[in-house]
Amino acid sequence: MCGFLIFITRVALSVGLLYLALSAIDFAAIQSRLSHINPLWIALAIAVTIFQIFLGTQRWRVISGLCHAPLSNLKAFRFNMIGSFFNQTLPSSIGGDAVRLWLVNRTGAGWRAATYSILIDRAVGLIALAFIIVASLPWSYAMIGDANGRLALVFVDLVALTGGMGFLLLGHLEWAWLKSWWPIKHFHACSAIANQVIFSKKSGLKIAMLSFTIHVLAVVIAWCCVRAIEVPGDFEQLLILTPPIMLITTMPISIAGWGVREATMMVAFGYAGLAQTDGTVVSILFGAVYFIVGALGGLLWIFSAEKQAGHIEVDHAAED
């Protein structure tokens, strides 16, 4: 019953935020923009999104291998695509992560290894995103003239960066109670593996490049949506605006980020001197692209061996 109430609350929040985002804009302008969509740009955005998921697969495979949950390229990509489907139906990315966790556990890796691989993959992605936002702050300040906008950007990034650094620091602490007190001991173990992933000479550079590219591809997807409706907005502007929007959208307070993303992008476009209506339309298209890719993941789920047979064979070895 409690879970159902939480779900209803998040649906209501998504609807409420969408209403607030749409209530202050000109629907005629939205209709005009949407009536001139170039489908080729949307098709390119879909292709880029699938490639983004593939790169996410490569990062996840490195991490899952260190967590003793090895996955083949094909299996990891399929699990990520299926996860993208559940991301569209459940709060934020939590639904997709939960399904990926279940799928990895069904390979015989066990709940602990599966959970560690998902949590660390998510943490590494968020830490990389926070660092990208920090690196872009000088340009953000030049673009965003509003003092409240600057303050909000710094606050959001500071929270994310502090949380990420605190998570990594946890793995360096050797206090005995951190390794024995549940659930702190699991966070400590995840932190230790995350440090190994990020700072290892073998995997560190690869993880950093993959993480950076994954986030840049989100900017490319947004840019494709901008080009699809031919609204003002340079790639450089989107490179500054998109990462903070993606960071805020990861908060598990809505369904697939709907409402949160539209409200945030509308405000961000306004702070950057762009039309807020255009920001809302771009956000809707951005969400639609991920919805279409999620639908493809849904087809993979419907016809998957896990869904059809209710079980999955154990991976005895993963591809290199």
Q: What is the mean pLDDT of residues 3-26?
A: 55
Alpha carbon distance 145, 167 (integer Å): 33
Tell me what the mean pLDDT of segment 312-316 comes to. Answer: 43
Q: Is residue 14 part of a domain?
A: no
In this prediction, residues 166-191 reach a mean pLDDT of 90
**pLDDT at 215 > cutoff 60:** yes
pLDDT of the residue at 3? 52
Examine residue 19 and state whether it is found in any structural domain, yes or no: no
Structure tokens at 102: 């279940």
DSSP label at residue 315? P
Alpha helices of 136-234 — where are they, by DSSP H? 137-143, 147-170, 184-199, 204-229
More confident residue, 1 or 78: 78
The more confidently predicted of residues 126 and 30 is 126
pLDDT value of residue 314 = 41
Q: Which of 5-19, 43-57, 138-152 has the lowest mean pLDDT?
A: 5-19
Instruction: Name the pLDDT band for 14 (thresholds 50, 70, 90).
Output: low
Alpha-carbon dihedral sign for residues 208, 210, 215, 219: positive
> Which amino acid is located at 10 in the chain?
R
Of 108, 100, 112, 116, whose CA–CA distance to 64 is shortest? 116
The radius of gyration computed from the CA coordinates of the chain, to the nearest angstrom, equals: 20
Q: One-letter amino acid identity for 5? A: L
Report pLDDT for 51. 98
- SS3 assignment, position 134: helix
Residue 44 lies in a domain: yes
- Render 55-103 in DSSP notation, one character per residue: HHHHHHHHHHHHTT----HHHHHHHHHHHHHHHTTSBTTHHHHHHHHHH
Total Cβ atoms within 10 A of residue 231: 17
- How far apart (Å, rounded) are the C-alpha atoms in residues 120 and 271? 33
Tell the burial category of 88 from Cβ atoms under 10 Å away from its Cβ (0-12, 13-18, 19+): buried
Asked if the structure places residue 24 within a domain, the reply is: no
Under DSSP, is residue 125 helix (H, G, I), strand (E, B) or coil?
A: helix
Domain membership flag for residue 18: no
Residue 317 is given by DSSP the state: S
User: pLDDT-derived band of residue 320, with 50, 70 and 90 as boundaries?
Assistant: very low
% the chain with pLDDT above 70: 82
Residue 37 DSSP symbol: -
Question: Which of the pair, 149 or 206, is modelled with greater confidence?
Answer: 206
251 vs 254: CA distance, rounded Å: 8
Q: What is the pLDDT of residue 85?
A: 92
Domain that holds residue 136: 33-309
Determine, yes or no, domain membership for 192. Answer: yes
pLDDT digits over 272-289, tens only?
888 888 888 899 899 999
Mean pLDDT of the 125-138 span: 91
* pLDDT at 178 (0 to 100): 86
Report the range out of 43-57, 86-100, 135-149, 233-247 with the highest average pLDDT: 43-57
Over 70: is that where the pLDDT of 256 sits? no
In a domain, 130, yes or no: yes
Q: Element (H or E) spanning 307, and its range?
A: helix 305-309
Q: What is the mean pLDDT of residues 11-33?
A: 58
- Look up residue 313 and give its DSSP letter: P
Summarize the confidence of residues 127-152 as an average pLDDT. 86
pLDDT value for 31: 67
Q: Residue 78 corresponds to which tokens in the numbers above?
A: 């399929």
What confidence score (pLDDT) does residue 120 get? Answer: 96
Number of domains in the chain: 1
Q: Give the pLDDT confidence of 266-275 residue by residue, as tens digits.
A: 888 888 888 8
Cross-strand partners of 255: 91
Position 92 in a domain:
yes
* 183 preceded by a cis bond (ω within 30 of 0): yes
Determine contact, residues 190/123, Cβ cutoff 8 Å: yes
Give the best-scoring range by mean pLDDT among 61-65, 89-93, 103-107, 229-233: 61-65
pLDDT, average across residues 151-159 = 86
Q: How confident is the model at residue 182 (pLDDT cuts 50, 70, 90)?
A: confident
Closest CA to 257 of 232, 226, 225, 294: 294
Question: What is the share, in percent, of the chain residues with pLDDT greater than 90?
Answer: 49
